[in-house]
Amino acid sequence: MDIWFAFVAGFLSFASACILPLIPSYIAVITGVTLTELDEAPAQRFKILPRSIAFVIGLVFPLIIIGMGATTVGSFFTPAVSTFLSQFFGFIVIIFGLYLLGLLNIQMFQREIRFHRFFKRKGGLFSVVVMGMAFGFGWTPCIGPMLSSILILAADSTTFWQGGGLLFVYGMGLGLPFILIGLAGSASLNFLKFLQKHMKIISIASGIFLIVLGLLLVTGNMAYITPSI
């Protein structure tokens, strides 16, 4: 079930207020064409597929490394210390949840660093991979609450492969919508507008999601979602 937690966290990160409104312009930078231009030349949709996949690879790869690192660091602690840290970070995750519910104001999570102006359209696949890495770094403050919660799960994993796997799944939840939106063209605009219209509900759902996870950490009941622990 921790896999589903990671994927949902990734999608909720994608649907966050500081990423979702900019998706059409990001798609244009990644693929070299706008969503409207895709409708005018439907064959382009499958031509841009390798670029979209390259972007997601660039986005996900650093997350996997970070996840493995979190698991490696977590393995150095004794069970008593690990339990204390899980409870401590559980309180931190609850604070993140309260922030997403609008009950706390944390300025650092209202920022992002935009790199798209430094990249030109129609670059090679390698440049798109690098772009994915840069975008992931720029979004870190914005997706911090969700990303941090999954890193805490990764730190509690028994092997670094499991930790990396959790961050891979999180990255797919964050990156897969880019591929699907690129293939759908302007038809995806209605979906994006629907998400933006219900942004408040998404934010509340995200906050509740993190509070539940935080409570599981604080009370030592993570076995409900991570049976291997």
**d(Cα 216, Cα 213) in Å, to the nearest integer?**
5
**Is the pLDDT assigned to residue 136 strictly greater than 90?**
no
In a domain? residue 149: yes
In a domain? residue 36: no
In a domain? residue 79: yes
203/26: higher pLDDT: 203
Output the pLDDT for position 118.
Answer: 46
Mean pLDDT of the chain: 79
Domains contained in the chain, number: 1
Q: φ, ψ for residue 77 (rounded to 5)? A: -90, 150
Instruction: Assign 3-class secondary structure to the chain.
Output: CHHHHHHHHHHHHHCCCCCHHHHHHHHHHHHCCCHHHHHHCCCHHHHCHHHHHHHHHHHHHHHHHHHHHHHHHHCCCCHHHHHHHHHHHHHHHHHHHHHHCCCCCCHHHHCCCCCHHHCCCCCCHHHHHHHHHHHHHHHHHHHHHHHHHHHHHHHCCCCHHHHHHHHHHHHHHHHHHHHHHHHHHHHHHHHHHHHHHCHHHHHHHHHHHHHHHHHHHHHCCHHHCCCCC
When mean pLDDT is compared across 97-101, 121-125, 162-166, the lowest value belongs to: 121-125
Output the pLDDT for position 21.
Answer: 77
In a domain? residue 227: no
Contact 72, 160 (CB under 8 A): yes
CB neighbourhood size of 200 (10 A):
10
Confidence band for 228, pLDDT divided at 50, 70 and 90: very low
Structural domain harbouring 210: 2-31+45-222
Q: What percent of the chain has pLDDT over 70?
A: 79
In a domain? residue 39: no
pTM for the predicted model, two decimal places? 0.81
In a domain? residue 229: no
Output the pLDDT for position 173.
Answer: 92
Output the pLDDT for position 7.
Answer: 92
**d(Cα 73, Cα 46) in Å, to the nearest integer?**
41
In a domain? residue 214: yes
In a domain? residue 7: yes
Confidence band for 170, pLDDT divided at 50, 70 and 90: very high
Output the pLDDT for position 44.
Answer: 66
**d(Cα 167, Cα 161) in Å, to the nearest integer?**
10
CB neighbourhood size of 142 (10 A):
20
